[in-house]
Amino acid sequence: MPLCSTRCGKNAVLKRPKTGDALCKECFFEAFENEVHFTITRAELFKPNSTVAIAASGGKDSTVLAYVMKLLNEKYDYKLKLFLLSIDEGITGYRDDSLDTVKQNRDDYEMPLQILSYKDLYGWTMDEIVSEIGRKNNCTFCGVFRRQALDRGANLLKVDYLATGHNADDIAETVLMNILRGDLARLNRCTSIITDSGDGIPRVKPLKYTYEKEIVMYAYFRKLVYFSTECVFAPNAYRGHARVLLKDLEKN
């Protein structure tokens, strides 16, 4: 194995997709965490003594976000009060299982957890909606409901910020989707690191410049518990076409 690029004297265990550096685990952790810290401080995402709800799905992005936010909050004394906010869409075989992971995150990271369900908010589960409309445009419906549910949850918790786990790959996919659809309004704002849905609670993206591959590597080497099963309705999503195209371009 090659030596770590930082000349710490240890053997490298990975090659960073973002920089090409060969790093040991400890140096990779430090580089990854420092970059998220730099993103937070450069964009001034949070004010001291604020409360932050982390949108937690149990997946790799939100799990890494929760872990890193807790770590950086303690390391750099952000003076933030952190919550986990999860939405139960009512998707059998997917969300019911992933919520178990979120509850594990709650215990591991010692953060309060609030779970809101589509059933309680709207009177419908996503399974019931799909049974009525069929397997078409499911993600469009779910996306609208989920965004509104997160806003309601943030208001219920009376937080100052809502942090989401959107990463660089997600944003690239969204840019491509909006270009293909000719949606200039969304294209104009989809790369913003801070957005406001109109309720006065900003949404922030601390992982905006973080590659998906590195998030997976970080979760793996940190031995974080996360849920990796794809939503049963996701294969029909328009986003999937943009994702495949980007992966093919990257591979080429």
62 is in an annotated binding site: no
What are the pLDDT digits (tens) for 126-146?
999 999 888 877 888 888 899
Beta-sheet pairing, 81-88 with 14-15: unpaired
pLDDT surpasses 90 at 237: no
Domains of the chain: 45-251 (3.40.50.620)
87 is in an annotated binding site: yes
What are the pLDDT digits (tens) for 5-46?
999 999 999 999 999 999 999 999 999 999 999 999 999 999
55 is in an annotated binding site: yes
160 is in an annotated binding site: no
Q: Quick one: tokens of 224? A: 């974080």
56 is in an annotated binding site: yes
What are the pLDDT digits (tens) for 56-103?
999 999 999 999 999 999 999 999 999 999 999 999 888 888 999 999
